[in-house]
Chain A
Amino acid sequence: EDKVVQSPLSLVVHEGDTVTLNCSYEVTNFRSLLWYKQEKKAPTFLFMLTSSGIEKKSGRLSSILDKKELFSILNITATQTGDSAVYLCATLGGTSYGKLTFGQGTILTVHP
């Protein structure tokens, strides 16, 4: 059975801190790993990682995938209160329909 595990489950920091969120996976027919941000409503897409060692970056957020050790990290530098959200990691399997397996999510709270 495919499995995606995120850690920590929750994190409380102050504005300006840097955070690292972890995602490990055991997935058959792995194709890609995705990160989403969820703020009370729909998950919004952040990154899709397919190749090991290539960092994807968007502003203060960056992510990297290690396909040998089966994990990914999401870094957020200089955190702001607007970064407070649930961050979801999901793996995209190689099935014909694009099976997404989600982790439990990391709840990030950024205090002013």
Chain B
Amino acid sequence: NAGVTQTPKFRVLKTGQSMTLLCAQDMNHEYMYWYRQDPGMGLRLIHYSVGEGTTAKGEVPDGYNVSRLKKQNFLLGLESAAPSQTSVYFCASSTWAAGGPGEQYFGPGTRLTVT
């Protein structure tokens, strides 16, 4: 049981390049999330999914797209990277608990630098 995994762990992009971050969970969780963490800003929600085939915008969705074609995978795409997207990206998942989503379990993070 690996929990939540993310690939890649590190990436450097040039401005305008595109890339996809992959998140996978083996806990059969319904809910999945993508966050970014910046110094002094805490974790901010980019996009989330409440089930296979569904996605929705979080607090800071601009410049990102997501897809959830399979329950266990949640992909985050950057179509045209910008230096403002330099950050650490965390994926998380949670299950249903006592009438609603429960605690979230986080992946190890992806450190992305855009030059």
Query: A62-96: which have CB < 8 Å to B?
Result: 88, 90, 92, 94, 96
Query: A7-21: which have CB < 8 Å to B?
Result: none
Question: How many residues on the A side are at the interface (Cβ–Cβ under 8 A)?
Answer: 23
Using a Cβ cutoff of 8 Å, how many contacts connect chains A and B? Answer: 56
B residues neighboring A (CB under 8 Å): 4, 31, 33, 40-45, 48, 50, 56, 90, 94, 98, 100-109
A residues neighboring B (CB under 8 Å): 31, 34, 36, 41-45, 48, 50, 88, 90, 92, 94, 96-100, 102-105
Listed from nearest, the 8 A-B pairs whose CB atoms lie closest are A98-B101, A42-B106, A102-B42, A102-B43, A48-B103, A43-B106, A42-B108, A45-B103
A-B contacts besides A92-B100, A92-B103, A98-B104, 8 pairs, CB < 8 Å: A31-B100, A42-B107, A42-B108, A45-B104, A96-B100, A98-B102, A104-B40, A105-B42
